[in-house]
A and B are shown apart, each in its own frame.
Chain A
């Protein structure tokens, strides 16, 4: 322990030391400030100080640090001074506790480096706090941007789905009074031709979002999931569906074909079926 400490003391530059310390940096200064008097003036100065707080005994007392007290400090990590107390008060620390010692002891060298340089190389409290703040801000910024990037990653730029807006042929192709089911599989709409013109019903049940079927024999749309029924107009009349089917924007495109745009929806219960483009007059 002592061998490692001494050479590292003069050579380690301050910022590097703080970076190497990782999480502990806030702790060693605390203990360094609060405890040196306490421990030094305490009853047993030559008592083996646990490696977590070598700063408390700058005189190289840790040379005596036995694996046993290593273990003790490893076990009661958050309260190093008490750990030392435990080590002396109860010499019968089970050997089992001593065995895992190398692992908890491993991060220890980092802590002394930070604390020692803070004292020896004249790193001021102000400077230390400044770099700690910079470090935490940078760390938080990195975490936040990582989170934002990961979230954005879940939203693809290109969807391999049918387009929301599409052409469904010329008005002359449709028969008055019929529900055209040709586009249901590809685009999820029915085109209905009545005596006045066209409307496009979106083939999504307003109950829970299944796809209803057009039952020509019964002259209704019927949802297989929970039995909702809709008239040819899209108005619900049976089953659990709470509102009529939605209609999509339907207009004539420049080439004379019917253009349907599912990204614009018209809901009957909001009075939107009277709006322009919810219905294509001919």
Chain B
């Protein structure tokens, strides 16, 4: 009497069935990444993974070496994006509503901690991005061929600070208004484009000054002569759309270049 082969367990059969469907195979095209070839294929054919190297040295990701500050910064950026998106459902960037909406976010909206997460996440991101820069500097990771990526990183650092600066105004309290008043006054001294800046006196048509308080760089930033309705709306748009968009694109470039220029860290 021949022993019949015992049927496969139910879970195995189910798993086999699922992984055999067209849907599954269209998503997971290369099977388990257990061989070098498959690992390469899995990474190279995935839009998110392909920004990263297929392989890295084990020493390259030693925490002692990287501090994981770049990764932490990116994680915080994602946290800020997500919590910021949620805040946008309640916050209205007008002089009449802005301050009260911030109060409501803390006191009326469920999970009033959301705004605090956004705020503290922003502080943490500024700190981590500085530490990331410090680490890159101390490990000499700015040297060729990584000098291009260092510069991308410097722009990203400035964008992070600008995100912080534009977000500072949105609560529309006294601290915010005067901080932005003080901060934006620096733009008055922009060379050529600020009405108190060097060279702005040269831009005249006859007697008419081209660059004055109503037409200079600060005016374009604030949409007015002082921090008012125009400034609030402009900072809101820059904070929620403009700067994150540019930063997101540059982050893709940044990660891609990390991969292309010899990996996350360590000697080349």
Contacts and interface: CB of A to CB of B under 8 A. Distances in A.
Given A155-B220, A160-B229, A208-B185, A225 B178 contact: yes
Contact of A96 (B41, B185, B215, B228): B41
B178 A161 contact: no
A231 B59 CA distance: 65
B119 interface: no
B19 interface: no
A154 B45 contact: no
A100 B230 CA distance: 47
Interface in A155-211: 155-156, 159-161, 208-210
Interface residues of B, number: 22
A94 B41 CA distance: 8
Nearest to B216: A155
A210 B182 contact: yes
A94 B45 CA distance: 11
A99 interface: yes
Contacts of A161: 224-226, 228
Contacts of B219: 155
Interface residues of A, number: 15
B44 to A, nearest CB: 6
Q: Is the interface of B mostly helix, strand, loop or mixed?
A: helix
Nearest to A209: B185
Contact of A210 (B178, B215, B230): B178
B263 interface: no
Contacts of A156: 223, 230
Interface in A126-174: 151, 154-156, 159-161
Interface in B180-194: 181-182, 185
B37 A94 contact: yes
A235 to B, nearest CB: 21
Interface string B171-184: 00000001001100
A99 B226 CA distance: 57
Interface of B: 29-30, 37, 40-41, 44-45, 178, 181-182, 185, 214-215, 219-220, 223-226, 228-230
Given A159-B224, A161-B225, 4 more contacts: A94-B37, A156-B223, A159-B225, A210-B182
21 contacts: A94-B40, A96-B29, A99-B29, A99-B45, A151-B220, A154-B220, A155-B215, A155-B220, A156-B223, A159-B214, A159-B225, A159-B230, A160-B229, A161-B225, A161-B228, A208-B181, A209-B181, A209-B185, A210-B178, A210-B181, A210-B182
